[in-house]
Chain A
């Protein structure tokens, strides 16, 4: 079993973990002091060398993203993505509620690196406690001189403000989030231009997931070489795996990337309930394709999960035992995406409704082979032609369900 001393979640179980005094008592804001003695380019170089990739789902190299921000742009922004809503995912909520300063220190370092003097925290509207914790953390950071003018006498200025979403999963998509920050409907923008070129109010903007930002102080504090020594070739560093479903000990487990899925399920999460066997696993949140039990030895890393036919996504591992009704799981995941489609593009809006309609009929036992055929045709036709990745992502679980558990679908239709 991998022994790993948590770094990202080191604080979350301490008493009063959310307080700035607790954070400071355990080395908090030391990396910021170190950062402010480095040049912004040195900070970017360090993050590039670490190999850190985004933890919000897409896995984009973080240092490279910072490098895209034009140096000469007069105004630049940072946006913090606390919109966590991908079913199965519950790591960002934990960090915001229990250790907001760990994110905030990353925010300040990232802003310094790209030359942003204004950062916007976008938080999911339903995270009531998270909203309070963010507000308190920001206020305390101002008090201690980690925010505001001339931070720690460095000459660097940064203001941070909090913005509450209002119940729309799509606002986790970075351009929809920017629209929402601007006070609009959260409909995604066409990319390019990417936020790094034209984001909030048309200015270059770095959008970063909470967990990604929590890595930053450790990369600066302990060095890129330390970080790069953890994980696999293309997936460096520690990762929080959110394990839920039919396991004995669901929860957040921080482990090095590359830890085998089997180990996460059986050793960390206590195995499958009632000694049953695994039928399927969603390895990276609801939009990632299912894995079957023969794939349990896959290392949980970007490249290995892609090779196994799925994706690391958010690292949200949903475990389903042998009793699970896969048609119902597929239907439920689809109903999530149909509910959350912003409605802007037809393939996602109507295609999603039609897929859910077919799934409803099939799940009810009233379906015919034609329903199955229509469902399958839609899952093949929609990916790639939607305005944003949501519409493509909604097809993945159903398509993989049809591929891997075909007989369960066929048994339901006549």
Chain B
């Protein structure tokens, strides 16, 4: 029996495990440039880390926070989890916002300002209903609270 080699050959190149471990961090940095991962960016990450573009894409596509399509400036992510559902959140919140913005979950407003999404539990179940706009969490949502969030964002753009 041979021990598993620590460095697995892949294609022509040898993968450096320490570099490969940086892949998620590299993808975060790359994504910041355009808001999503373009094929060119994936190629660049692959070249820098000594991986193939296919490998980078394969890993990126596994994780929901990495995007391969453009999104709005504000991504509104409404929790659709069970605790939020129980306290009149989830669809009630995403429908309310969707009606105000004229989009459905998965869509972006024509002006490119807002993308609406439904996501899984945000670990805010004790302060449900919850949603997130980009990296900001909003909890204990009420219709008035949602209006205030949207008004502020509309004012900022």
Contact = CB atoms under 8 A, between A and B. Distances in A.
Interface in B16-65: 17, 20-25, 27-28, 49, 58-59, 62-65
Contact of B4 (A86, A125, A202, A252): A202
A87 B125 contact: yes
Nearest to B7: A201
A126 B122 contact: yes
Given A242-B126, A250-B128, A332 B80 contact: yes
A59 to B, nearest CB: 20
B121 to A, nearest CB: 4
A333 B84 CA distance: 12
B6 A202 contact: yes
Interface residues of B, number: 40
Nearest to B58: A185
B119 to A, nearest CB: 8
Given A166-B28, A336-B81, A125 B65 contact: yes
Nearest to B17: A201
Contact of B65 (A126, A252, A316): A126
B132 interface: yes
Interface size on A, as a range, is 35 or more
Interface string A161-179: 0011111110000000000
A410 interface: no
A340 interface: yes
A212 to B, nearest CB: 17
Nearest to A343: B62
Interface string A208-246: 000000000000000000000000000000000011111
A88 B24 contact: no
Contact of B120 (A187, A324, A329, A340): A340
Contact of B63 (A85, A125, A128): A125
Contact of B64 (A168, A243, A245, A318): A168
B6 A332 contact: no
Interface in A147-201: 163-169, 180-187, 201
Contacts of B124: 90, 93
B121 A85 contact: yes
Nearest to A184: B59
Given A128-B135, A184-B59, A185-B62, A87 B22 contact: no
B142 interface: no
Contact of B123 (A93, A202, A335): A93
Given A125-B65, A126-B65, A246 B82 contact: no
A318 B106 CA distance: 28
Nearest to B86: A245
A166 B125 contact: no
Nearest to A185: B62
Nearest to B136: A128
Contact of A183 (B59, B81, B128): B59
Contacts of A168: 62-64
Contacts of A202: 4, 6
Contacts of A335: 80
A105 interface: no
Contact of B25 (A128, A163, A340): A163
Contact of A169 (B4, B22, B23, B120): B120
A251 interface: yes
Contacts of B96: none
A251 B6 CA distance: 45
With a 10 A CB-CB cut-off, give which of A166, A324, A340 has the most chain B CB atoms.
A166
B39 to A, nearest CB: 19
Contact of B87 (A180, A245, A282): A245
Nearest to A91: B123
B121 A336 contact: yes
A320 interface: yes
A89 interface: yes
Interface in B61-107: 62-66, 80-83, 85-87, 90
A126 B59 CA distance: 18
Given A244-B128, A318-B86, A339 B59 contact: no
A126 B122 CA distance: 8
Interface of B: 4, 6, 17, 20-25, 27-28, 49, 58-59, 62-66, 80-83, 85-87, 90, 120-128, 132, 135-137
Given A185-B62, A245-B86, 18 more contacts: A87-B82, A87-B120, A88-B121, A92-B123, A126-B122, A126-B132, A167-B63, A167-B66, A183-B49, A185-B59, A244-B126, A245-B83, A318-B83, A324-B86, A332-B80, A336-B81, A339-B120, A340-B120
- By Cβ-Cβ distance, the 8 closest A-B pairs, closest first, are A166-B63, A167-B64, A183-B23, A167-B65, A244-B125, A128-B135, A244-B83, A87-B121
